[in-house]
Amino acid sequence: MVLDRDIRLTILGHTGVGKTSLIKRLKGEDSAATEKTMDIVIEKKKMVLLSAAKQSKISLERYRKYNIIAVDNPGDFKLRRKWREAMRRYKTDGILFMLDPSQPVEAQRVAMEDSFNYFLDSLSLDPDKADKKARKKKTLFVFVVNKIDTINYDETQASKFLDNFETVIKDFKMTFPFAVFERVYISVQDSPYEKIDYIFEKCKQALY
Ligand SMILES: Nc1nc2c(ncn2[C@@H]2O[C@H](COP(=O)(O)OP(=O)(O)O)[C@@H](O)[C@H]2O)c(=O)[nH]1
Ligand SMILES: [Mg+2]
């Protein structure tokens, strides 16, 4: 249907940061029980974003449905090579990179560097060609600090946690000059649905 639009998102991050939980909440399922993700899992949901209600009755946006195609991935370092295939096969519009302030920084920084390299690999296995494509590509990178309930919902602290990753994020920015960068602080477990939806709202704004 003409009114439908796709948003293809790849959810990446170290193991246990809450990738599968986020997708469960997106689908309206209970996020309490997740099992370890061992392979790429494709989840689809058709949704009208909450902001649509604020649109005027003559606006198309009011009636537009978004197909959110979320690609869940394993976080384990041994399974991370699947990330490249996931992004290559589903031609991702954007990456949601999730972080967990209750886990050590270092392993998560390595995961972030891996996401950078596998994303480039997914564009082309030839590094020069991949860099060239990256320079023209309009992509979305959302850095999601999850589990802010473990830091008393303190957004300043969440933002400081993200500062630990600034050097890697700078490389993303240099390599993808046309990309859009967003930061989200959330508790996938406790946040109201509006905050979950807000992530996809941001993605929509960046892509359309
Ligand atoms: N405290 C807290 N725990 C969370 C939150 N989101 C997820 N978890 C827990 O973190 C663990 C790993 O979650 P999971 O979604 O499987 O992580 P994944 O490996 O990235 O897919 C599970 O025990 C979740 O219940 C959150 O917002 N706050
Ligand atoms: Mg998982």
Q: Residue 182 in contact with residue 140, Cβ under 8 Å? A: yes
* Other residues' Cβ atoms within 10 Å of the Cβ of residue 86: 22
Point out the ligand 1 atom lying closest to the alpha carbon of residue 13: 20
Cβ 101 under 6 angstroms from ligand 1: no
Q: Indicate if ligand 1 lies below 6 Å from the C-beta of 15.
A: yes
Residue 136 Cα to ligand 2 midpoint, Å, equals 31
The residue whose CA is least distant from atom 14 of ligand 1 is 18
Bridge partner residues of 99 (DSSP)? 145
pLDDT of res. 132: 98
Q: What is the mean pLDDT of residues 87-114?
A: 95
Side-by-side strand order, sheet with 5-12: 41-47, 66-72, 5-12, 94-99, 140-145, 180-185
* Ion ligand 2: residues, Cβ under 5 Å: 19-20, 37
pLDDT of 2 over the 70 cut: no
Q: Is the pLDDT of residue 117 over 60?
A: yes
Ligand minimally distant from the alpha carbon of residue 75? 1
- Output 129-133 pairs: Cβ under 8 A, ≥24 positions apart: 131/175
pLDDT at 130 > cutoff 90: yes
pLDDT in tens, 74-95: 999 999 999 999 999 988 999 9
Q: What is the pTM of this model?
A: 0.93
- Both tokens of 1, joined, read 């249907």
Question: Residue 136's pLDDT band (boundaries 50, 70, 90)?
Answer: very high
Count of beta carbons in the 10 Å neighbourhood of residue 174 = 10
Query: Model confidence over 164-186: pLDDT tens digits?
Result: 999 999 999 999 999 999 999 99
- Could you tell me the domains of the chain? 5-207 (3.40.50.300)
Closest ligand 1 atom to residue 33 Cα is: 25
Distance CA 183, CA 37 (A): 24
Q: Give CA–CA dist 120/110, Å, rounded.
A: 15
DSSP state of 68: E
Element housing 42 (H / E): strand 41-47
pLDDT band at 4 (very low <50, low <70, confident <90, very high): confident
Give distance in angstroms: CA of 14 to centre of ligand 2: 9
Cα dihedral across residues 144, 146, 151, 155: positive or negative: positive
Q: Give the ligand 1 atom nearest the CA of 15.
A: 19
Average pLDDT of the chain to the nearest whole number: 92
Q: Is 24 in the pocket of ligand 1 (CB under 6 A)?
A: no
Q: How far apart are CA 33 and CA 90, in angstroms?
A: 27
**Residue 1, pLDDT above cutoff 70:** no
Tens digits of residue pLDDT in 57-78: 999 889 899 998 999 999 999 9
